[in-house]
A and B are shown apart, each in its own frame.
Chain A
Amino acid sequence: MSVRAIRKLQGDNRVFRARIAFSAALMLMAAGGLVVRLVYLQIVGHEHYATLSQDNRVKISPLPPTRGIVYDRNGEVLADNLPSYSLELVPERIENLDGTLAELQELLGLSDEDIRRFRKLKAQHKTFESIPLKMRLDEEQIARFAVKQPFFPGVQINVRMIRTYPYGELTAHAVGYVSRISETDLKTLDPAVYSGTYHVGKSGIEKTYENLLHGKTGHQELETNVQGRSIGVLNTVPPVAGADLRLSLDIALQRAANDALGEYNGAVVAIEPATGRVLAFVSKPSFDPNPFVYGIPKQDYDRLQGASDRPLYNRALRGVYPPGSTVKPFEGLAGLEVGDLTADRRVSCPGYFQLPNSSHQYRDWRKGGHGAVDLKSAITQSCDVYFYKLALSLGIDKLSEFMGRFGFGKRTGIDIPGELPGVYPSKEWKKKRSKHPWFQGETVITGIGQGYVGTTPVQLARATAILANRGRMVTPRLLDATQGGTDAAESESRQPAGESLAISQEHWDTVIEAMVDVVHSARGTAKGIAPGLDYHVAGKTGTAQVFTVAQGQKYRESEVSKEMRDHALFIAFAPAEQPRIAVAVIAEHGGHGGSVAAPVARAVMERYLSGGTP
C-alpha cells in the first residue's frame, strides 16, 4: 500500500469517525424524542387515554348531514326532508335483545319484517350505534312507548329526517328516490362518509347527484365513563348539509303532460331546444316513491314488480319503441344531404311497394296510395311508399350513419341513470347479432321506423330538439343549478355549446315546412290539433306496429285486442319559427299518432307557451 493510499485511508477515517459521532448524537437525540413523547403519552396523558380506552365504545359519534332539497324550476319542492320519529335500539346496552324485540313487537304492533330488517341492519353496524327498528312511528305508538320507556334501557325514540316526495307518482321516474343502504351499496360507498346515514339515492336525480345531495358527515368525539355514558363532548365537527338542486322540470307542465296522457300508458318528454333543459319527463304508469324510503313492505313491492303494466319501468328512459313514421323528417334530411334526392322530385305511390323479383307487398297505410308525392307532401301525408324507396336508394349503412348524427341508437346522456341506447341497425350491427346477412327488405321497413329500429322517448325528444335547433346538438339535462353543499357557492349548471350538424339551411326549411304542414295543412296527419293554436307547430305523427298483420289481410283496430294495438307517437316543436319547446309523446296501444299522441303534445305545448289550459 502506498503512503498516499494510507494517508487517504487515515484521512477518510478521521472524517468518517466525526460523521459517525455526529450521527450517534443525532440518534440519541431522536431516541430521546421518542422517550419524551412516550412519557408524555403514557405518564402525563395516561389518565386521559385510560378513560378513552376504558370505554372506547361511544368515542366517536357521527353527525349525519341534511340531504339537499330538490326543487323544480319555479321553486316547488320535489324532494324534501321531514322530521319523523323512529324507534331506535343500541344493541350493546340491551341485555336480552331477543326478549326486548319480542316485547316491543307486542307493544307497538310491529311486523315480523320490521324485526327481520332490524337484524340485518344490526349486522351492518357496530353494537354501540343506535339502529332504527321502526321508522315513522305514529302518535299512538309514541305514546305507548313513552309510558313504558323506563323498562326498556337502550331503546329510545329519536327524531330523524326522512325523505319525502310531495308529488309522489308524478316525479318518481325523474327525481327517483332514496332507500336504505343495502349490502350491495356498502361495497361501493365509503363507510366513513356514510356513517350515520341510513339512506342513499337509488334512482333518478337522487342517484345521479348523490354526491352533491348527501353533504359531509360531521362527528362528535364524546368522552365517556366506564358505564358507557357520555360525560362530555370533547370536540364537535358539524356536518355540512348537502347541496339543494334546482331542476329544469316544471311540475305544472309535468302534471299537464301526465294528465294529457289520460288512460294511456306511455311517456312524454319535453325539452327546451336551446339548452337541452328537460321541462317534463313523464313515464306512465308510475308509483309512489315514498314507501321505498322507509322500507316498502315486501308484498307491496312484489305487487308493483309483478304488475302487467310495469309501473316501476322507466319508459321515458328505458322504453325502446319502434319510432314508426316519426323518423321520416330525419330520413328526408338524409335523402337531401347524403342521397341524390331533391325536394321536388315526385315519387308515385300506388299504395304498396314491391322489391324486384319478389311478390311481397309492403303496404302503405292508405290503401289506395297517395299518387305522385314530393318530399314535403310525403312527410305531411306520411306516405310510406316514398320512404320505402328513399331508404332503399340510400342503403342501410348511409341511412344508419346519418340517423346516428341525430342520436338514434345512442344514449342521450341525460342525467338520469340507467338509460338504454335503443337501436338503429346497420349491416355491421346485424352481423354481430345474427348469422344471417342483411336483407334488402329490412332496409325497406327501416324506412318507416319499423323492423329492428328502437328508440326511447328521451332519444326522440332530443332528436326533435336538434331538428328544432336546425342542427345544434344538445344533451338533455334535468339539473339546472345547485345551491349550498360542500362547495358552498351557488353554481349554475351550464353545458358547453353543442356542435352543429352541417346541413344546408334550404334542406332544414323543406323538412320543417313539411312538419308545419303536418299540423296546419288540410292533408296533414295531425291537422286535428291545429284549431285554436296561435303559433305554428312543427310535428310528425307515428304509428308503431306491435302486431304484424299477415299478407293480404287488413289491420282493423277494433278487431285487435288492446295489447296488440299499435303505439301512437308524436314529435313536435313550437313555435316552429323560434322553437321554445320540443316534445316527444308515446301512447302505448293508442292506435294512431295523429288522433291520440298529437293532442297530448298539444296540451303540453299550450301549457308551456300560453300558460293556460289547452
Chain B
Amino acid sequence: MRFDSRLAGFNAEQTRFDRIMRRIHVDIPLFAGLMTLSGVAMVVLYSASGQSFDVLLRQGVRLLLAMSVMLGIAQIHPRHFRFYSPLLYGAGVLLLAAVLVMGEIGKGAQRWLDLGVLRFQPSEILKLAVPMTVAWFLAECPVPPAFRHIAVAGAVIAVPAGLIAKQPDLGTAILVGAAGAIVVFLAGIRWLYLAVVAGVGAALLPVVWHFLHGYQRDRVLMFLNPEADALGRGYHIIQSKIAIGSGGFYGKGWLQGSQVQLEFLPEKSTDFIFAVVAEEFGLIGCLGLLGIYLFIISRCVYISLQAQDTYTRLLSGALTLTFFVYVFVNTGMVIGILPVVGVPLPLVSYGGTSMVTLLAGFGILMSIQTHRKLVPG
C-alpha cells in the first residue's frame, strides 16, 4: 500500500473514482473487460441473427439482468458465500433430483424446473455451488489434502455431475465436474493422486461409453471422423470449418459472411457463433476476441492471487479456470479440435440462463477483490 499512497498525490481525481468503485464493490478492469466483450458480442450477434433487432433487444435485456445480479452479488461479503456454500449445494442437488423425477414422469429429457413464474435449469446452480462447496471443504483440510479428503471431494463432485449427465446433459455435467476438479487441483492434490485419478478415469472411459445415449456417442464418433456422416451430423463441423477457413486473415467483413448469411452454418447465433467471428472478422477478429477473453482471465488470475484466505483463493481460482475451460471447449469445438458438446461461447452466444450464472461468478470474484482487508505491507 506504500505504492498506492505515492500515487495518491499524483492523481487525486482517479483515486477518488477508485475509492467510490471500491465502495460499491466494482472491480474496474474486470468490469471494463466484460463490458467490452458484451459490446463485441452484440455486434456479432446482430450479424449472426440475420440482422434482427428483436434478438439484440432480448439479449440486451438478459445482459442487463445478469449484470445486476453480478453487481448485487459483489456486495455480499465472501464469508457469507462460504457459510452458504453447502446449503446452496444441498438445495441444488435436491432440485436436480426433483427435475429428474419430473422428467421420468414427463417421459423425456427434462432440464428445466418450472416454478410457474420462473423456469430455470437447476444444473446452472451447480456450476457455482460445486466449486464453492469443494472449496469450503478443502479450505479446512491440510495441504496437500489426504486421500480421504480427496475421496469426499470426489463424491461432492460426482453426485451432481452424475445427475446432470442423466438428464441427459453431458456438456454441463462435464463443466460442473471440471469446476469441482479444478478446486481439488488448486488445493494442492498430490501429483501422484492426480495421476491415479487420471488413470482410473481413462480406464473408466469404456464404462462411461456404455452409459452414453446414442446421440452422445454419435457426437464423439463424428468428431473423430466428421466426413463419415457428411450429410447428417458431420455437416456442422464441415460447414463450421469452411466458414472459419474462408474468413482468412481479414475476414469477409461484417454482415458479409456467405456461410453465415446464406444459412450454411448451423446454430450460428448460439453454439457456433465463434465461426461467425472467424468468417466475418478473420484471424484478426479471432485474435482480438481471444485477447479480450485473455484480458478478463488474467485480471481474474490477479484477483485470485490477491485473495487473502484459502477459501476465497480456491474459489476465485476455480471460477477463473472454469471460465477459461468454457471458452476453450466452445472454441475448440467450433474449430474442430474438440467434440461437439452443446456448450455456448460465454457471454457471446445467444441465450439466457448460462449468462446469469457466468456473471454471478464474476460477481463473486468482484466481491472477493473488493472486500479485502487492506493490511499494511
Which residues on A sit within 8 Å (CB–CB) of B283? 38-39, 42-43
A195–B317 CA distance with the chains assembled, in angstroms: 50
5 CB contacts below 8 A, A to B, read A19-B317, A37-B337, A45-B245, A50-B246, A193-B232
Interface residues of B in 71-98 (CB under 8 A from A): none
Identify the closest chain A residue to B293 (Cβ). Answer: A31
Does B142 count as interface, using CB distance less than 8 angstroms?
A: yes
Minimum CB–CB distance from B202 to chain A (whole Å) comes to: 18
Minimum CB–CB distance from A403 to chain B (whole Å) comes to: 36
> What interface size band does chain A fall in?
35 or more
Chain A interface helix/strand/loop/mixed = helix
Taking a contact as CB atoms under 8 Å apart, the answer to whether B185 and A190 are in contact is no
Identify the closest chain A residue to B314 (Cβ). Answer: A16
**Of listed A30, A54, A195, A221, residue having the most chain B CB within 10 A:** A30
Taking a contact as CB atoms under 8 Å apart, the answer to whether B287 and A53 are in contact is no
Taking a contact as CB atoms under 8 Å apart, the answer to whether A20 and B230 are in contact is no
Q: How many positions in chain B have a CB within 8 Å of any CB in the partner chain?
A: 53
Interface residues of B in 317-357 (CB under 8 A from A): 317, 321, 324, 328, 331-332, 335-337
Which residues on B sit within 8 Å (CB–CB) of A50? 245-246, 248
Choose one: A35, A45, A49, A60; the contact of B290 (CB below 8 Å): A35
Taking a contact as CB atoms under 8 Å apart, the answer to whether B304 and A20 are in contact is yes
Choose one: B186, B245, B335; the contact of A19 (CB below 8 Å): B186
Does B361 count as interface, using CB distance less than 8 angstroms?
A: no
Which residues on B sit within 8 Å (CB–CB) of A39? 283
Which residues of B line the A interface, CB within 8 A? 142-144, 182, 185-188, 227-233, 239, 241-249, 258-259, 262, 264, 278, 282-283, 286-287, 290, 294, 297, 301, 304-305, 309-310, 313-314, 317, 321, 324, 328, 331-332, 335-337
A49–B264 CA distance with the chains assembled, in angstroms: 13
Taking a contact as CB atoms under 8 Å apart, the answer to whether A24 and B337 are in contact is no
Which residues on A sit within 8 Å (CB–CB) of B229? 192
Taking a contact as CB atoms under 8 Å apart, the answer to whether B188 and A16 are in contact is yes
Identify the closest chain B residue to A30 (Cβ). Answer: B328
Does A427 count as interface, using CB distance less than 8 angstroms?
A: no
Which residues of A line the B interface, CB within 8 A? 8-9, 11-13, 15-17, 19-20, 23-24, 27, 30-31, 33-35, 37-39, 41-43, 45-46, 48-50, 52-54, 56, 60, 62, 190, 192-193, 195, 217, 219, 221, 235, 237
Choose one: B244, B294, B301; the contact of A49 (CB below 8 Å): B244
Minimum CB–CB distance from B266 to chain A (whole Å) comes to: 13
Taking a contact as CB atoms under 8 Å apart, the answer to whether A33 and B337 are in contact is yes
Taking a contact as CB atoms under 8 Å apart, the answer to whether B331 and A34 are in contact is yes
Identify the closest chain B residue to A218 (Cβ). Answer: B231
A192–B337 CA distance with the chains assembled, in angstroms: 24
Taking a contact as CB atoms under 8 Å apart, the answer to whether A56 and B264 are in contact is yes
Choose one: A8, A17, A192; the contact of B143 (CB below 8 Å): A8
Q: Indicate whether A9 sits within 8 Å of B310 (C-beta atoms), given known contacts A15-B188, A35-B287, A192-B229.
A: yes
Taking a contact as CB atoms under 8 Å apart, the answer to whether B335 and A41 are in contact is yes
Taking a contact as CB atoms under 8 Å apart, the answer to whether A41 and B241 are in contact is yes
Which residues on A sit within 8 Å (CB–CB) of B331? 34
Choose one: A9, A15, A48; the contact of B245 (CB below 8 Å): A48
Taking a contact as CB atoms under 8 Å apart, the answer to whether B313 and A12 are in contact is yes
Which residues on B sit within 8 Å (CB–CB) of A19? 185-186, 188, 317
Identify the closest chain B residue to A234 (Cβ). Answer: B227
Minimum CB–CB distance from A46 to chain B (whole Å) comes to: 4
Which residues on B sit within 8 Å (CB–CB) of A195? 231
A27–B182 CA distance with the chains assembled, in angstroms: 13
Identify the closest chain B residue to A45 (Cβ). Answer: B245
Q: Indicate whether A42 sits within 8 Å of B188 (C-beta atoms), given known contacts A12-B313, A34-B332, A53-B259.
A: no
A219–B229 CA distance with the chains assembled, in angstroms: 9
